């Protein structure tokens, strides 16, 4: 998929989603705004799940992975490739430090996308 340097340089390209989904720009814009809101809401829940995992002996990653999977489907459909990368990592890693970094990076990528949407 991506290596780290490509992720950091990634810029969302709406043309990919417009072509793949057959949507007009306004509808795609509205879907992206909803997606960003969903991810921002999910960030708090990811952090709660991570806190629980950090403070319990028996690690149950299922709630974290379920939430990542829910967000991943939308990211894939809208062709938000950096979010796809981070959500895939959240779904497969058990390294709590790395997971926290992925959530932080997902948050940053969502803010970047929101700023792009606010400009257009």
In degrees, rounded to 5, the angle at the alpha carbon of residue 81 between the alpha carbons of residues 77 and 86 is 110
Whole-model pTM? 0.89
Give the pLDDT of residue 99.
97
pLDDT at 1: 38
pLDDT at 97: 96
Tell me if 64 sits within 8 A of 50, measured CB to CB.
Answer: yes
The pLDDT of residue 4 is 56
Are 21 and 13 in contact by the 8 Å Cβ rule? The answer is no
Q: Which residues of the chain register pLDDT less than 50?
A: 1-2
Residue 86 contacts residue 46 (beta carbons within 8 Å): no
> What integer pLDDT is reported at residue 8 of this predicted model?
66
Based on DSSP, count helices (H) and strands (E) in the chain, helices before strands. Answer: 6, 0
Cα–Cα distance list, 24 to 14, 29, 65 (Å)? 10, 9, 32
For residue 71, give both structure tokens.
């967000």
pLDDT for 9: 77
Return d(Cα 118, Cα 29) in angstroms, integer. 10
User: What φ, ψ does residue 3 adopt, rounded to 5°?
Assistant: -100, 170
- How long is the chain? 120
């Amino acid at each position: 998929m991506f290596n780290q340097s490509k992720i950091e340089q990634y810029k969302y390209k709406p043309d990919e989603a417009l072509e793949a989904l057959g949507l007009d720009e306004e509808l795609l814009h509205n879907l992206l705004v909803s997606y960003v809101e969903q991810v921002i809401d999910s960030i708090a829940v990811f952090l709660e799940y991570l806190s629980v995992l950090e403070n319990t002996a028996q690690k149950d990653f299922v709630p974290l992975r379920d939430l990542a999977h829910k967000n991943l489907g939308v990211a894939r459909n809208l062709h938000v490739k950096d979010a796809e990368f981070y959500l895939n990592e959240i779904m497969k890693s058990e390294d709590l430090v790395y997971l926290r970094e992925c959530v932080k990076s997902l948050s940053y990528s969502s803010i970047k996308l929101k700023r792009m949407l606010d400009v257009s």
